């Protein structure tokens, strides 16, 4: 890993919703790990990019999945040029570089994998690397952050208390209407009227959560639709491709969501 590749030279655009920036900065100064929780597409990843820029630290992001193992995070031995060499995983690399390691959707990882972060997420701030007999100590610059979507909690995919009680928790949600409109205008260069219609459309779909939809339209999906519209795609077509088809495969719900967009555009 080359730490310089993970720095943000240009400020990632982010609009603060509550007091999340101040809380994260205070947690970082006190060497406390941070948990971001909220629905998909509400700005958690962009927030982390923005904070890495503000704190001038490299950000290493890991998208967690069912097959993620402890070795994927910590590192493993690999054969290179007929020699066996140790290669740090992203977590170990972030600890060595004094960077920020962000484990996105951490509940998607295997239960035995998340245990490896426990020593880093308490007062010890160490990463045991048993395969090489090393105990890697985190410097004051290192920060551990994780995220998950509470809306998808289940018995099989929940964040254990032994893990979550190690973290300072920040709750994220979709911005209020005026702020979401501002975000869409900034990200996609559409006019205020179009952005306002997209926000209204999003609220209509969010009202269907639990009544046919698992989630309503996220801010991310609205930005995708707005970018297509700014490129000349008809609004109804953009909403169908970027929102309706992304939210559901159910034919009745697709028809319902498409009718909502047709009523506005």
Take residue 14 and report the two structure tokens written for it. 């982010």
Q: Write the burial class of residue 9 (CB in 10 Å: 0-12 exposed, 13-18 middle, 19+ buried).
A: exposed
Same domain, 188 and 82: no
Same domain, 137 and 204: no
Indicate if the pLDDT at residue 2 is higher than 80: no
The pLDDT of residue 220 = 95
Transcribe 63-121 into DSSP letters.
E--TT--HHHHHEEEEEETTEEEEEE-HHHHHHHHT-EEEEETGGGS-HHHHGGGGGGS
What percent of the chain shows pLDDT beyond 90?
72
Indicate if the pLDDT at residue 10 is higher than 70: yes
**Residues near 158 by beta carbon (within 8 Å), at least 6 away in sequence:** 107
Same domain, 127 and 48: yes
Same domain, 196 and 164: no
Same domain, 122 and 212: no
**Count of CA atoms in the C-beta half-sphere (13 A) of 95:** 23
**pLDDT tens-digit profile of 159-178?**
888 888 999 999 999 999 99
Same domain, 108 and 208: no
**pLDDT tens-digit profile of 93-140?**
999 999 999 999 998 888 778 889 999 999 999 999 988 888 999 999
**pLDDT tens-digit profile of 175-230?**
999 999 999 999 998 999 999 999 999 999 999 988 888 889 999 999 999 999 99
**Count of CA atoms in the C-beta half-sphere (13 A) of 257:** 32
The pLDDT of residue 143 = 97
The pLDDT of residue 3 = 58
The pLDDT of residue 156 = 53
Boundary of a domain, candidates 171, 190, 221: 171
Same domain, 141 and 220: no
Boundary of a domain, candidates 114, 148, 171: 171
Same domain, 95 and 199: no
Q: Is 148 helix (H, G, I), strand (E, B) or coil?
A: strand
Write down the mean pLDDT value for the chain: 91
Q: Domain count of the chain?
A: 2
**pLDDT tens-digit profile of 36-77?**
999 989 999 999 999 999 999 999 999 999 889 889 999 998
Residue range(s) defining the domain that contains residue 259:
177-264
Same domain, 28 and 109: yes
Same domain, 247 and 165: no
The mean pLDDT value for 238-259 works out to: 94
Q: How far apart are CA 65 and CA 157, in angstroms?
A: 11
Boundary of a domain, candidates 171, 198, 218: 171
Same domain, 184 and 152: no
CA distances from 156 to 68, 72, 115, 133, 185 (A): 16, 21, 16, 33, 39
* Domain containing residue 85: CATH number: 3.40.50.300
The pLDDT of residue 155 = 46
Same domain, 191 and 219: yes
């Amino acid at each position: 890993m080359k730490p310089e590749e993970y720095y943000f030279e240009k400020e990632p655009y982010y609009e603060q919703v509550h007091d999340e920036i101040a809380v994260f900065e205070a947690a970082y100064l006190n060497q406390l790990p941070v948990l971001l929780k909220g629905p998909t597409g509400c700005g958690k990843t962009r927030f982390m990019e923005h904070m890495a820029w503000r704190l001038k630290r490299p950000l290493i992001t890991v998208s967690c999945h069912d097959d993620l193992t402890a070795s994927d995070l910590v590192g493993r031995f690999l054969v290179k040029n007929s020699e066996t060499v140790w290669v740090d995983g992203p977590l170990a690399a972030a600890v060595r570089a004094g960077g920020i390691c962000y484990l996105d959707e951490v509940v998607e990882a295997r239960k035995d994998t998340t245990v490896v972060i426990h020593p880093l997420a308490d007062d010890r701030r160490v990463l045991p690397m048993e395969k090489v007999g090393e105990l890697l100590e985190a410097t004051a610059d290192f920060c551990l952050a994780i995220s998950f979507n509470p809306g998808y909690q289940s018995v099989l995919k929940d964040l254990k208390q032994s893990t979550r009680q190690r973290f300072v928790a920040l709750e994220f949600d979709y911005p209020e209407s005026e702020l979401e409109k501002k975000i869409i205008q900034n990200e996609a260069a559409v006019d205020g009227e179009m952005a306002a219609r997209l926000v209204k459309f999003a609220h209509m779909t969010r009202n269907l959560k639990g009544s046919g939809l698992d989630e309503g339209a996220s801010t991310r999906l609205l930005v995708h639709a707005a970018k297509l519209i700014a490129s000349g795609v008809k609004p109804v077509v953009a909403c169908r491709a970027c929102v309706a088809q992304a939210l559901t495969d159910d034919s009745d719900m697709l028809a319902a969501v498409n009718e909502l967009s047709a009523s506005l555009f």
